[in-house]
Structures are given as structure tokens and as C-alpha cells.
A and B are shown apart, each in its own frame.
Chain A
Amino acid sequence: MDPVCPLALLSAGTSAIVAEVRAGKEMRLRLAGMGLCPGARVRAQCVDRGSLIVSVGDARYALSRGIATKILVGELEAA
């Protein structure tokens, strides 16, 4: 799947599929443990200038813009 945009650019209510995580090794392994790895379906719940709360499965995470710009997503689906 081709990445379309960083997670940080999603608007509230949009869901998408993680295509790539452009972060260091440790961070990637950690994110995988949290369910944020390529193939995962995420949904932006609250968005504030690139920082956002996303839901992944039954979990919800708050991410700062810094990391949210490193997670690339595709297959966007507006609410």
C-alpha cells in the first residue's frame, strides 16, 4: 500500500491504515507492541494542530505531532 500522508494530517473522524513508521528501531518495536505498525487500522478521534488522539483496535493513544508526522498512513476513509 502506498503511503498518502502522515498521521498528523488526518482530520478528526478519519480512519486510515498505517503504511510505514519512519522512526528509530526501538521506537518502531515499541509502537508495534502498542498495535501501531504497518497494516494497523487507526482512527483519529481528536486532533489539535498535528497532535492527536487515535484509536487502534480497542486502545486509544495520544501522540504528539513529532511522532505523528513519522507515521505514514494510506487508504484514508472520512467519517
Chain B
Amino acid sequence: MTGIRIALTGNPNVGKTTLFNALTGSRQHVGNWPGVTVEKKTGRIDWNGHAIEVIDLPGTYSLTAYSADEVVARDYIIEEKPDVVVQVVDATNLERNLYLTTQLAELGVPVVIALNMADAAEAGGCAIDRERLSALLAIPVVRTVGTRGEGLDDLLDAAIREVETSPHHEHTVGYGNDAEVMIASIVDVFSADKDLTKRYPLRWLAVRLLEGDENALDKIRDSPAHTGVQALLSGIDPDEYEVAMADRRYEMIAAVLPQVRTAGAGGMNVSEMVDRVVTDRYLGIPIFLALMWGAFELTFAVAAPFVVLIEAGLAWLSATIAGSIEPAWLASLVGDGIIGGVGAVLVFVPNIFILFLILSFLEDTGYLARAAFIMDRLMYAIGLPGKAFIPMLIGFGCNVPGIMAARSIEGEKDRLITILVNPFISCSARLPVYILFAGAFFGAGAGGIVFLLYILGIAAAIGSAKLFRHTILPGESSPFIMEMPPYRLPTVWTSLLHTWSRGAMYVRKAGTIILVGALVVWCLASLPFGVEYGSSASLAGALGHLLEPLVAPLGFDWKVAVALLFGFVAKEVVVGSLGVLYGTGEGGDALSTALLADPGLSAATALALMVFVLLYTPCLATIATIRKETGSWRWAGFSVAYGLVLAWLLALIVGHIAPFFLGGA
């Protein structure tokens, strides 16, 4: 048996990715807001002797693609022609979900409906007669609960059955006399074009053309039937057809619904009551800020004992190694280089995990989608759609997925601005730098300082967006429309899994890129042979002294200059490099003490340094992503240069005014 390609499609936030993960055993990121999946993902399974390829597509409301991620979904279904399309349908929101079903059915591809979140619908007292629905639509309907992996076997069986039973009946909506006559004449003209007939279902194409779909017009541009169809279309008003046809689809759905669904008692709507409070005109933003501030405070408080444990472990390891490895240079490589560099970063694992856990929890409850709504007014004022807030929120974890998430933004200029300001959103890689310096120099005030840095990052992003909007990328921002997912109480398991998948990336980075960075710094700090380790006579010292004049106005010495240079690879490397350069292999606490003891570093300098790290050049991975998403090195280069200039200026200002607030440097 040859392979079968199953495409998962459906409206945003109906649980496609959860189902995809359950089917294929992968661990793709799942969120409780629309638009988490921005590109298609593929997984493979063997099922009863069939090699099955499952493709998870970004969510879409209709086959009229509007944003970049919807284009991915539409083009895959139309152009790549999967063997069967599984539409994941949110059982609690049948009406709107079935609109896409009517369009899929029109395409003539075999469709199977996965009636997902069936448990939630049933809990709400809403019973859906699947057999009746299946009979009315002539589409198999399978009950699934993606979160618990229920119904997966039935779904795969049904999908394979659909592929094997051909031909498929095209169950379509009847559009009424006028439209049907037009459709018939368009199909008639097209049927002369054998090439087009092979590529697209003609009825579907005719319907799209009547609706005035630009994309459909592009598809027929080269057809010999083009002029004939244009003549037919010139006599009609597509706007009128568009309204009438949408009407017909919803009428068809309205006729089906009462036959298959017994609605539960409406009752009090908790979501709505919560929404009233958290999106309140006056309370909304204070609640959001309080939640964020609480998240950072809690992160520091809960992580502290774990950090102590890890430090103790590293100290023990370091001492054991120092006493048991010969020759001395090898002990230095392992102790100063590897444990000093990687260990300095690993110490922050508890902080990272706890912050991720809190953010995952907020995200999974559905609150973050409300935050986007609250922020929309603010975002609009700076010339960005509220949706741009989501890439920013994702950017708090890592800028790479943040920049990729900009794909769900409709306008090209909006998208570019969102991408360019994303690096200012403080990603988790910068957190270790803050924790180290804020912890060392600000003690009990550390949580507040870190919170302020995050706010500064947001302010820098907002200010830059406004600047870009008024200079290089002028124009209006596109309107904000976003689905508000229902509030859900996340299970401990999903939140932990979510946290793990993000946190593991951090740990992996520590084992790869940061390890390499630490080793390079160790080599530079140890060479030429015989030099005192990490002294200014070493290669690292020479490099640092070369760069020192550039950062001297900010109060940074050569060690910081070297650390910042290597931070270009990944920002955690700043901490690792300092760990190596200060020769404090035992981990974070020793490094803090060493930093405090350095007469060249004051609280004001530390603050300036944190500001610089927040804003300067995004890491290599981010630059590569900007290049990929904008399709040009020009924008990537611009981002690097702009970040450096902004970081330098703000660090200079902060370094000079901070002493007044801190009571003298």
C-alpha cells in the first residue's frame, strides 16, 4: 500500500495541533489562542500497514485566504491535493466551523470531520447527533477528544476508508437559480480547457469567481477560456453574489443544526463575566501589569531554593574535578571553561522554568488573547494592529518563534514593523543576565528591576514601531479582529508539558551553542601559552582592549566588552563568558561576588549593562529568522545596526542618570 497524505485543517484554535500531537506523538507547541501554528508541520505514522503522512495546517476560517498563514493552509489543500482532508471541528462552535466545511465539500476533496472538544460540548449539556450530521453532509463524522487522545483510531480508519472509496460525492450548497445558471455557464466555458479541468474542480472555481475572489482570477489568467469567462463575469455584480452565497451557506447550516444538535441550557456565561472585568476600560491595563509583575516576583521567590541546590551541585563538581584531573590545563578547561561557562547559564534553569510555567498557565487559560485586546488601543496608537502583540508575547519566550508568529498579521508593512521591533522584547535568553546583575547589585529589589527592564523592552519596541511607521514604513495599520477563546482551566499536565518543551530548548542551547561559546572564550582567555588565565595579557584581553574604547563611555571594561561580543551568538553567553573571564567556575553565586568586588562595576554600570544587553544586536538565530521572514539581508542588517545604536544611546543615558536615583554610584 502506498502512502496516504492526511491534511488537518479547520478554524483557528479548535485543537488541530493537539490532535496532530496525539496522532503523531510529536510535541508541537499548542496554545489557547488563534494562530499558534503559522506553518505546516508534518508527522508520520504507520497504521494497519499504511504509511500515513499527517500535515498540520495553520487555522483558517474560510478558503479565502487573508493572512500569510491562511495562504499556507489554502494553497496546500488546493494545489498539493492531499488524499484526504480531516477538518477538525470545535463541537462547541458548530455553526461557524461548518462554513469551512461547505467550502471544503465544494472542492471535491475527500473530507472527514473530527468532531473535537466533544467532551466540552457534552459538559455544556449540548448533544450532537453525529450519525445524522454525517448523513446530512455526506461526510463521515468522528468524535475526538484531542487532549485525551480519544477517537484517534476511528479517525484514521475513517480517513483511510474515504481515500479507498472513490468516487466521492460532492455535496455542495445550492446557491439558488440565478447563481446556479451562472455557475453552469462558467463551468461550461471552462470545460474546454483540459489542463484547468485537471487541476481544479470547475464548480468550485466558478463559485470563487462569482464571489470575486482575486486569487481565483489569478488561477485562470493563463487559461484559453479566460476571455470567455471574463465576458460572463463582466455583466454581474460580484458583491451581490458574495452576500447571497454566504447567505446560502449559512442557511444550509442553519437548516442542518436543529436536526443534529440539542443545545444545552445557556445559563450564566462565566467567560463573559470574567471578560467584563479583565477588559474593563480602567481595570484592564492595571490587571495586566499586576499579573506580569506578580509573575516575575513569583519567579524569583520560588526559584531561589532550587538555584541554591544547583549551585551547590556545581561547586561540588568543580571541586571534585579540580582535585582529580591532570594536567592542570585540562582541569582549567573543564573547570573554568565548561563548568564556568555552561554552569553559569544552567544556574538559571529554575528561573526560566518557573517563568515559563506561569506564562504557559496564563496562555493556556485564554487570558493572553484578552491581553491582546486590551493592548489593541495602545498598539493602534503606535500604528500597529493589536495582533502584533501576540508575536511580542511569544517573543518573551524566544524572539525566533515570535518573529515567525508575525505571519498571522495581514498587512505587509504591519508585518515588517512587527518583525523589526520583536528583538526588543526581552526573550528568556536575556533573563540570566538580568538575574545575575540585578541579583548581585540590587538584592531584594531584583524582581522590580527585572520587571522594569521588560517594560523598557516593550517601550523600546513601541517607540521604534512608531518611528518606523512615521519614517521608513508609513501607512495605516490593518484592523484588529481576533477570536477570543473560551477560558479553560489548564491541566497541570499540559502546562508542565508546555513548559518543558520551551525550557528544554534552553537547556539544549546550554549544551550546544553556549558550550561552544564558553570553550572559545576559554581558549581566548588561556592563549597565548603561559599567560595568566583571563588576564588582560591573554587574547581575550587583547580583543577586549580593542573594543574597550567603543563601550568605555558606557562604563564597561574590556571583560564586559568580550562578553558582549560573544553575546552576539546567544545572549546567555554573556553570563557564561563572564563566568569564564572572572574564573569563577563554581557557578552563579561566586560570579555575583566577583562582580560586586570588581571596582569597575557599580550598580549604575550594572543597570546600563542590562539595558545594553536588552537592546543590542539580536542573537544569530534571530538575525537568520529576520532574514528568512523578510526575505532580505537588508532588513536583517538594519535590525542589527538599529539595535546597536539604540542600545548604546540608552545605556549611555541610563548609566548617567541612574546614579541620581541610586544615591551615587
- B247: chain A residues within 8 A (beta carbon): 37-39
- Are A30 and B64 CB-contacts (below 8 A) given A45-B275, A57-B95, A64-B380? yes
- B214: chain A residues within 8 A (beta carbon): 25-26
* B213 interfacial contact with A, CB 8 Å: yes
Q: In the complex the two chains form, is B96's CB within 8 Å of A27's CB?
A: no
* B136 interfacial contact with A, CB 8 Å: no
* B479 interfacial contact with A, CB 8 Å: yes
- Are A27 and B212 CB-contacts (below 8 A) given A33-B61, A48-B281? no
**Across the two chains, which residue of chain A brings its CB closest to B483?**
A61
* A5 interfacial contact with B, CB 8 Å: no
Q: In the complex the two chains form, is B479's CB within 8 Å of A33's CB?
A: no
* A67 interfacial contact with B, CB 8 Å: yes
Q: In the complex the two chains form, is B479's CB within 8 Å of A59's CB?
A: no
Do most interface residues of chain B lie in helix, strand or loop, or is the interface mixed? Answer: helix
What is the distance, in angstroms, from A6's C-beta to the closest C-beta of chain B? 13
What is the distance, in angstroms, from B577's C-beta to the closest C-beta of chain A? 44
CB-contact partner of A67 in B62, B213, B479, under 8 A: B479
* A40 interfacial contact with B, CB 8 Å: yes
Q: In the complex the two chains form, is B246's CB within 8 Å of A60's CB?
A: no
**Across the two chains, which residue of chain B brings its CB closest to A30?**
B66
Q: Which residues in chain B, 431-446, are within 8 Å of chain A measured between CB atoms?
A: none
Task: Give complex CA distance A59, B369 in Å.
Answer: 14
- Are A66 and B380 CB-contacts (below 8 A) given A29-B242, A59-B96, A61-B482? yes
- A55: chain B residues within 8 A (beta carbon): 272
* A53 interfacial contact with B, CB 8 Å: yes
**Across the two chains, which residue of chain A brings its CB closest to B212?**
A25
Q: In the complex the two chains form, is B211's CB within 8 Å of A37's CB?
A: no
Determine the interface band of chain A, counting residues with CB < 8 A from chain B.
35 or more
**Across the two chains, which residue of chain B brings its CB closest to A23?**
B479
Please tell me which stretch of B329-337, B345-353, B370-378 contacts chain A, meaning at least 4 of its Cβ atoms lie within 8 angstroms of it: B370-378
- A60: chain B residues within 8 A (beta carbon): 271, 275, 483-484, 486
- Are A57 and B93 CB-contacts (below 8 A) given A48-B279, A49-B377? yes
Task: Give complex CA distance A60, B485 in Å.
Answer: 7
- B482: chain A residues within 8 A (beta carbon): 61-62
* A4 interfacial contact with B, CB 8 Å: no
What is the distance, in angstroms, from B414's C-beta to the closest C-beta of chain A? 13
- B568: chain A residues within 8 A (beta carbon): none
What is the distance, in angstroms, from A35's C-beta to the closest C-beta of chain B? 5
Task: Give complex CA distance A67, B480 in Å.
Answer: 7
Q: In the complex the two chains form, is B276's CB within 8 Å of A59's CB?
A: no
Q: In the complex the two chains form, is B250's CB within 8 Å of A30's CB?
A: no
What is the distance, in angstroms, from A66's C-beta to the closest C-beta of chain B? 4
- B479: chain A residues within 8 A (beta carbon): 23, 27, 63-64, 66-67, 70
Q: In the complex the two chains form, is A30's CB within 8 Å of B480's CB?
A: no
- Are A30 and B62 CB-contacts (below 8 A) given A53-B279, A66-B480? yes
Q: What are the 10 tightest A-B residue pairs by CB atom distance, in nearest-first order?
A: A33-B62, A33-B61, A67-B479, A64-B480, A29-B64, A62-B373, A32-B246, A58-B93, A60-B484, A57-B95
Instruction: Supply 13 A–B pairs (Cβ within 8 Å), ascending by A.
Output: A12-B276, A30-B481, A32-B62, A32-B242, A35-B95, A35-B250, A37-B243, A38-B246, A46-B276, A51-B373, A51-B377, A61-B484, A64-B377
Further pairs besides A28-B242, A45-B276, A62-B481: 7, Cβ < 8 Å: A25-B242, A29-B64, A29-B66, A33-B60, A51-B376, A53-B279, A57-B93
